[in-house]
């Protein structure tokens, strides 16, 4: 589950910083678009990775492929319109941004190095771009687990029109997540889902870029 290979860690470091930063920035931007500027006032409306990093979440994402950053402060009382729907949209913005970043990296890879060759290339830039795809997808899928404080719990609450799951599991959420990670339940369940999504993104990227690369 954990990979401490120094070369891999070095190559994955830019991908981890990008994934965490854009994830949290998306939360902040979504909240502001709904009327809440708390994140901006707290200095979190930023693409500076240092303002978003949570030490444990950062290390886990680097060595295990899934983790988290410091939550962006959000005050739903400032939202225009339905507050519960607003929280759902803000929560969903982070994982959706990660999928968008992963898809963008897949497009670039297909344009620069079309075909299966990219998967076997040892070029550092190719490996970094592949890491951006993988890490962003893993982060998106991990954060959609419906356990507080992850985004999935807020998305589920919005869909069910009830915040009961967050009230009941709120204080136990971090412990539950730690158990799921240490017992590798997260890996067994999420890795296949992540790989399916990665394959889908690469297929779509190939279809889009094929006319430009002669395939």
- 17 domain residue, yes or no: yes
Q: Which of 11, 12, 17, 24 is catalytic?
A: 24
Number of domains within the chain: 1
Give the ranges where 4-82 is alpha helix by DSSP (H).
Answer: 6-33, 38-41, 55-64
pLDDT, residue 76, reads 93
Domain that holds residue 12: 6-213
Count of positions (residues) in the chain:
215
Given a cut of 70, the residues of the chain with pLDDT beneath it are 1-4, 65, 114-120, 214-215
- 192 domain residue, yes or no: yes
pLDDT, residue 2, reads 59
- Cα→Cα distances 28→96, 111, 135, 149, Å: 13, 31, 21, 16
- 194 domain residue, yes or no: yes
- 1 domain residue, yes or no: no
pLDDT, residue 112, reads 82
pTM above 0.85, yes or no: yes
Annotation says 24 is catalytic: yes
- 111 domain residue, yes or no: yes
- 198 domain residue, yes or no: yes
Helix 185-213 and helix 124-143: axis angle, to 10°?
130
- 123 domain residue, yes or no: yes
């Amino acid at each position: 589950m954990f990979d401490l290979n120094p070369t891999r860690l070095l190559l994955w470091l830019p991908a981890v910083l990008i994934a965490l930063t854009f994830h949290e920035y998306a939360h902040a931007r979504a909240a502001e678009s709904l009327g809440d500027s708390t994140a901006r006032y707290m200095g979190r409306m930023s693409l500076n990775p240092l303002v978003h990093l949570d030490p444990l979440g950062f290390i886990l994402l680097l060595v295990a492929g899934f983790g988290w950053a410091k939550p962006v402060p959000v005050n739903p009382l400032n939202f225009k319109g339905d507050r519960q729907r607003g929280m759902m949209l803000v929560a969903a913005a982070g994982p959706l941004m990660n999928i968008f970043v992963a898809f963008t990296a897949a497009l670039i890879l297909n344009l620069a190095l079309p075909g299966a060759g990219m998967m076997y290339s040892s070029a550092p830039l190719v490996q970094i771009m592949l890491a951006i795809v993988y890490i962003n997808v893993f982060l998106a899928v991990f954060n959609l687990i419906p356990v507080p404080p992850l985004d999935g719990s807020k998305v589920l609450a919005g869909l069910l029109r009830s915040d009961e799951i967050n009230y009941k599991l709120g204080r136990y959420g971090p412990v539950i997540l730690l158990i799921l990670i240490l017992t590798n339940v997260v890996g067994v369940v999420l890795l296949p889902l992540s790989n399916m999504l990665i394959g889908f993104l690469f297929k779509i990227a190939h279809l889009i870029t094929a006319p430009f690369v002669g395939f």
